[in-house]
Amino acid sequence: MTDQDYFKLAVAAAHQGLDTWTNPQVGAVIVKDGQVIATGYHHQFGQAHAEVDALSQLDDVADAKDSTVYVTLEPCSHYGKTPPCAKRLAEVGVARVVIGQQDPNPLVSGKGIQLLEDHGVAVTVLNQTADLNEAYTYFYQHHQPYFTLKYAMSLDGKINGAGMTRTQLTSEPAQQDVQQLRSRQHAILIGEHTLLNDDPQLTVRTRQQAFPPIRIALVRDANQLDRRLKLFNNAAPTWFLSETEVTTSVPENVKVVVRPEWTPVVISQYLAEQGLQAVLVEGGSQVQAAFLAADLVNELVVYVAPKVLGGAGLPAAVGEPLTAAFNLGAPTITQFGHDVRVRARRV
């Protein structure tokens, strides 16, 4: 087996970590005399890192002496919620560490590699992310969240029929896919009309999550909100970004944050300060237009349903104009039942 083969095993392990929240997904494989002797991954935010999890799988940690460790992300070098992994690998006498990607987090970046080398451990960096931790990497490189815009539309580009009631566009398989998409986010954001018209739950209902996405709604005045709205249930933490201070108490899961104006740039800065890396914007039309115009959208995920809503329907993005049209990379197209998902990223 080659370095690439062992690295793929580490990547597969990393994917098992579904509750890492704002920590990266990381996998590690320990190889000695051509045999995989342990595999580990970062299971959950606050728990052991992948390398330490792999070491804990060994009956005798002394077996790691002179081994090669394949790890998808640079081992950490600082004392955070857990002690530094690079130090631990050096202490147990690992001979070589093969790293997929240098950590973009400035707390770690390059320092884990340096620590290993200073302790005589050979290091190879593959410079391969294997598409892991896209939002995490983007966040540390650009100091803002990775925003994904998601909506369902008819074949004539409408996200809702005329009037104030919600039009159900997609069917069950596409809705299940949305649950998957939501489960990878740190927050889901909607505009006030969507909140009032649709009264959405904005929850992940396909699996129990240790850290469900924070539900965020943009509102002019949080005092005016009907407390029977589903966002007031305690299914997930909820933030209202309001222009007006609330004068009454709110449930424990609800936070009201007040600014004179919540433009997309102000929202992005605030969410970045809160450490949120992956944010899904789920409508409506005006909020979508505002995020597009602010040049904050990294990816579009659009579900196209075989329906036609006609001239009075609400188009996908109405409002703030773009200064110039922009191109996205080649889309990936996937069919879910009768619906089609088009997914395209900024290049």
Ligand X SMILES: NC(=O)c1ccc[n+]([C@@H]2O[C@H](COP(=O)([O-])OP(=O)(O)OC[C@H]3O[C@@H](n4cnc5c(N)ncnc54)[C@H](OP(=O)(O)O)[C@@H]3O)[C@@H](O)[C@H]2O)c1
Interaxial angle between packed helices 285-293 and 264-273, expressed in degrees from 0 to 180 and rounded to the nearest 10: 80
Stretch that binds ligand X, among 33-41, 128-136, 192-200, 323-331 (CB under 6 A): 192-200
Rounded to the nearest whole angstrom, what is the least distance from the CB of residue 216 to ligand X in the complex? Answer: 11
Nearest C-alpha neighbor of 191 from the set 302, 335, 313, 287: 287
Residues 6+ apart with CB under 8 A from 8: 130
- Of 75, 112, 284, 313, the residue at the interface with ligand X (CB under 6 A) is 284
Residue number with CB closer to ligand X (121 or 271) = 271
Residue stretches of the annotated binding site for Zn(2+): 49, 76, 85
| Burial of residue 31 (number of CB atoms within 10 Å: 0-12, 13-18, 19+) | buried
Q: What is the residue whose two structure tokens read 């793929």?
A: 8
- Check if the beta carbon of residue 165 is closer than 8 Å to that of residue 259: no
Q: CA–CA separation, 72 vs 101, rounded Å?
A: 6
Number of chain residues interacting with ligand X (CB under 6 A) = 25
Coarse DSSP helix, strand, coil percentages of the chain, rounded to the nearest 5 percent = 25, 25, 50
Does 98 interact with ligand X (rule: CB under 6 A)?
A: no
Ranked by CB distance to ligand X, the top (closest) residue is: 284
Question: 3 φ, ψ to 5°?
Answer: -55, -45
30 versus 195: smaller Cβ distance to ligand X: 195
**Is residue 287 a contact residue for ligand X (CB under 6 A)?**
yes
- When asked if residue 89 is in the footprint of ligand X (CB under 6 A), the reply is no
Nearest residue to 233 (alpha-carbon basis) of 250, 247, 248, 213: 250
- For the bound state, the minimum distance from the C-beta of residue 232 to ligand X, rounded and expressed in Å, comes to 18
Is 172 one of the catalytic residues? no
For residues 220 and 258, what is the distance between their CA atoms, to the nearest angstrom?
Answer: 10
Judge contact between 278 and 146, C-beta under 8 A.
yes
Residues tagged in the binding site annotation: 49, 76, 85, 152, 182, 194, 198, 202, 205, 282, 284-290
Neighbouring C-beta atoms of residue 289, cutoff 10 Å: 18
Q: Is 282 in the site for ligand X (CB under 6 A)?
A: yes
Of 85 and 190, CB closest to ligand X: 190
Q: Closer to ligand X by CB, 88 or 215: give it.
A: 215
CB of 207 to ligand X, least distance (A): 22
Residue from 6, 21, 41, 262 in contact with ligand X (CB under 6 A): 262
Cα(198)–Cα(165) distance, integer angstroms:
7
Interacting residues with ligand X between 209 and 228 (CB under 6 A)? 218-220
Structure tokens that stand for 26 in this block: 């990381």
Output the known binding site for substrate: 182, 202, 205, 282
Could you give the CA distance from residue 43 to residue 60 in angstroms, rounded to a whole number? Answer: 22
The single residue among 51, 53, 103, 198 that binds ligand X, judged by CB under 6 A, is 198
The annotation places the binding site for NADP(+) at 152, 194, 198, 284-290
Given 51, 74, 192, 299, the catalytic residue? 51
Residue 89, classed as helix, strand or coil, is helix
Q: How far is the CB of 301 from ligand X (least distance, A)?
A: 10
What part of residues 146-185 is at the interface with ligand X (CB under 6 A)? 151-152, 159-160, 166, 169
Q: Where does this chain bind ligand X (CB under 6 A)?
A: 151-152, 159-160, 166, 169, 190-194, 197-198, 218-220, 262, 282-287, 290, 314
Catalytic residues: 51
